[in-house]
Each structure stands twice: as C-alpha cells, then as structure tokens.
Structure 1
Amino acid sequence: MPILHVANVSKSYGKHQILSNVNFSADTGQILGLIGPSGSGKTTLIKLIMGMEVPSTGTVEVLSKKVPNLELLQKIGYMAQSDALYQDLTGLENLSFFASMFLMNKNEQKDRIAYVTHIVQLENAIQKKVLTYSGGMKRRLSLAIALIQNPEILILDEPTVGIDPELRKSIWQELDRLKNDEQKTIVVTTHVMDEAEKCDELTMIREGKVITTGSPQALKEAYQVSNLEDVFLKAGGVSDAHQGPR
C-alpha cells in the first residue's frame, strides 16, 4: 500500500477548476517530485495532501488514512512556499515552540532541535531574532521546523528557493539520506530541473492535469530526449516550464 495515494482528485472554486482527475502515489523510501509551471495547481495539490483543503471529487490517503485527519499531523512534516515564522522570536524559540506541539519529551525536543539546526547550518544564527534573518535563512529555518518531529512523510513546497547552491546541495544530500537510511517518503515541488533529476519519481502537471509520470530516466527514454524540460514540452507542457510553481 502506498504511503501517499491521490485518486481521481479534482478541485474547483466555484466555476474555476484548479485540478482535474489527478492520480499519483508515493511509496516508502521514495522522493516524489511535482513539476509544473506557475499556476499549474501544485500548491493546491500540496494543501489537499495536508488536509488544508478538501477535494471537490476524489480521495487523498496518507499512511492509509483519508485526509483531512488531525492524527496525521504528528507524522507529516510540512514546509510551505511562504515562511510561517514568528519574527520577534529567535530561531531557537521558533524551533522550541513547534517542537512543543509534538509528542516528544524535553530531551527528545533538545536532541531534535540540535539535529535540525545542524542540518540547515543555522548554528551561528539560532540565538538571533528571525526578523534579522535573510530570506535564505528563513527558508532554512522553515525546513528545520518541517523536520523537527522526525516525520514519516515530508511535504516540501519549493524548499530550496533563495538558498545558495552549496547549502542546496547539502540539503539534497540530507533528503537522500533520510530516504535511504530512514526510509522517509518525501514529496517535493520544484522548478529546478537538476533537482527534478534527483527525484525517484516525477509527476508533471500542466493546467491542473497530470501530463506524465515516471522516473527521470524512464521519462527521458520514453520521450526520446536528453533532458526533463524537453520531456515536459513533448508531454504537452509549455515553454515557461522552467518557471516556479505557485
């Protein structure tokens, strides 16, 4: 049974349809990439997976439970596109606050805070107020918060936007480690095609519809091209496929 299963999902706001009959799944120990241009519906899809929105039709199941389900929030790490941080608190105070929301004792909280702070390389700034952070530092803190409770599934909406290339590389190395060593399931939206190459499976979306799915290598072979941008175009994408999703 897949860790994440999206079945025949459509979403409309009034007469405006955002998603149409979307189907895909993700297994244990797998990185799934959601790829598509601005306005393709990926962020809406992320909100449906989190239970922040309800499908108009179809079902979303996470860990064999239909969402929305409050119990699942203990097991899902979520990083939104926009940083939801307390600006007047320090990085450490933000992490402590979010850690307190999960089922961890004080020692576990302390250990997880130290771990995630190291992963995102914020040791030197953890005692500073978030209002003094750069945009990249805020993204790093948001990722640390998504990891704080050692979730079974990670949902990351544009996790590396505004982060320098060296740190981006180290974050992807950590995502690989979480996938391989801890068998985490990770769902990532990205507009960076070299990041898409790092995913095990891709679901490409245009105008609210899935246009193709498969591993990066299988997709390139199926469409007889050498890069994923050309896969998107040949599968029915558009020339602005490199733009960031919203």
Structure 2
Amino acid sequence: MIQLNSIIQLKGLSKSFGSQEVLKSVSLNIQKGDIYGLLGPSGSGKTTLIKLMIGLETPSTGSVTFKGNKLKANELYPSIGYMAQSDALYDELTAKENLSFMASLYGLKTAERKEQIEKVMTTVDLLDHLYKPVHQFSGGMKRRLSLAIALLHEPEVLFLDEPTVGIDPVLRKEIWDSFHRLKEEGRTLVITTHVMDEAERCDRLGLLSHGEIISSDTPDAIKETYGVTSIEDVFLKNGGVSIAD
C-alpha cells in the first residue's frame, strides 16, 4: 500500500552481482518534501540503492515506485537530478560551458538557459566563478558545480551520492544550508552519507548495514528506539558495525 504523501516507495528490493548479495529485501517510503538520508559504512549498499531508485540498476527482486507508479527510467529523468560520487565535469571548459552543455542535454531552450545558469550558480554560491575554467576549481567548488548541474532543470527530487565527500567542515555546512533552502522550495532530497552530523540534519534516516535497512525513522526516534544517544551507537548495537568501518 502506498503511504499518503509518499513520493518513492521501495518494496522487497534486493540486488545481487553474481553470487554477492549487495541489498537484501529493502523496503522504504520516502515522503515528498523530506531530506531523506541513507547512512551506512562503506560497502553497505548506499550507492547501489540510489542507482536502483533512479533506474541505473535493475533489481534482482522487488519493486520501485515513483509517485505511485512503477519506475520507468525514461519517464523519471525529467523529474530528478542526480549527483554521483565522482564529478563528471569537463576540466578544460569553463563552468558556464559545462552548464550550457548540460542544459542542452536537458532540453532547456536557449532563452531560459542564461536565467537558469545564473540561478543555480547563485544557489551554490559560485556565480563569481562562472567564466573560470574548471581545472582551476578546488575539489569543493567542483562538488558545488556538480550540484548546480543537477539543479539546472528544476527537478522535483534530487539524488545526491555523498555530495560532501572530501569537503572541509565549513563548506559542508554551507552546502547543507543550500539543501535546506531547496527543501523549503518543496524539493525532495535523497542523500547518502557516512558523516554523523549530516545524518542528524536529515528529516528521516534509513540506516544500512550489510545490505539491510536496520531502521528508518527520524534521527531522534531511532535513538529513542535503541536507547542510545548517537546514531553510531545504533550500528554498534546491530552486530558491532561502526560507521567508520
């Protein structure tokens, strides 16, 4: 049964690569307008789960529904933005040239490109670097440019795979501030992370351990259920898996 206000529902989702089972019967409901965090150690299945949600991988068993309908990748793409762990940027081009190229792939008309490019670069605080070649960008600037590209076509849902990896704490806070502004605009964000303070800033969390969801709720409710004071302690109570592993 689809829950009221559910935008993405996973039911009994499993994924194997050969004899290796990466995800085991994952069931989740992600609500419209939430920042939903997928938290777990490296190798827990976070990236695979994101790829299944956006149709880049096919489940071995189970189903994904988007807004109540069975997932069809070609129909989904106009509604979503995806930011992978690795930046897919052309270093020899300027930020504007990267954005213009991606805007053309999204099908944005020439008249709206300039406005959208300026809007998304303002959102990620990079407007002053619009004409700078990407090879002159720091790692943090490249991550923010990747986020700007994911926002170009004004997607309803953003899937962000470890968007702040390798970024210093001050810049991470700025990026998370932009996530909350996007939420206020009505966007839904699905974010993978293994950083504790980021997990606490999500509306709801799905805790992944060894390919299984061990809990899905608000951060405070999860801690209360397990009688602990930190999310990491939840993992330690479930087989001694540390988030830092």
Bin for the TM-score computed over the shorter chain: over 0.9
2:200 corresponds in structure 1 to 197
Of all paired residues, the percent bearing the same amino acid is 54
Contact 2:140 2:171 in 1 (8 A): no
2:241 corresponds in structure 1 to 238
Query: Per the alignment, in what secondary structure is the counterpart of residue 170 of structure 2?
Result: helix
Q: After superposition, what is the alpha-carbon deviation per residue over 1:57-87, rounded to whole angstroms, capped at 9, x for unaligned?
A: 0011223332342121111010000111112
1:49 corresponds in structure 2 to 53
* Residue identity opposite 1:166 in structure 2: V
TM-score calculated relative to the size of structure 2? 0.93
1:80 corresponds in structure 2 to 84
1:232 Cα deviation from its structure 2 partner? 2.1
1:103 Cα deviation from its structure 2 partner? 4.2
> Among residues 60, 65, 70, which one is paired with 1:61 in the alignment?
65
Contact 1:54 1:68 in 2 (8 A): no
1:98 Cα deviation from its structure 2 partner? 1.0
1:98 corresponds in structure 2 to 102
> Among residues 111, 114, 122, which one is paired with 1:110 in the alignment?
114
1:219 corresponds in structure 2 to 222
1:237 Cα deviation from its structure 2 partner? 5.1
Distance in structure 1 (CA, Å) of the matches to 2:122 and 2:188: 21
Aligned ranges 1:4-153 → 2 under 5 Å: 4-153=8-157
Moved more, 198-207 or 102-111: 102-111
Query: Per the alignment, in what secondary structure is the counterpart of residue 97 of structure 2?
Result: helix
1:162 Cα deviation from its structure 2 partner? 2.4
Q: After superposition, what is the alpha-carbon deviation per residue over 1:189-244, rounded to whole angstroms, capped at 9, x for unaligned?
A: 011111100111110011111111110010111111111111222244512x135x
Alpha carbons of structure 1 residues 106 and 8: separation in structure 2 relative to 1, 3 Å: same
| Structure 1 runs not aligned, ≥5 long | none
Alpha carbons of structure 1 residues 208 and 92: separation in structure 2 relative to 1, 3 Å: same
TM-score calculated relative to the size of structure 1? 0.92
Moved more, 85-94 or 147-156: 85-94
Moved more, 156-165 or 48-57: 156-165
- Count of aligned residue pairs for this structure pair: 241
**CA RMSD, 1 decimal:** 1.5
Contact 2:209 2:235 in 1 (8 A): no
Distance in structure 1 (CA, Å) of the matches to 2:239 and 2:82: 30
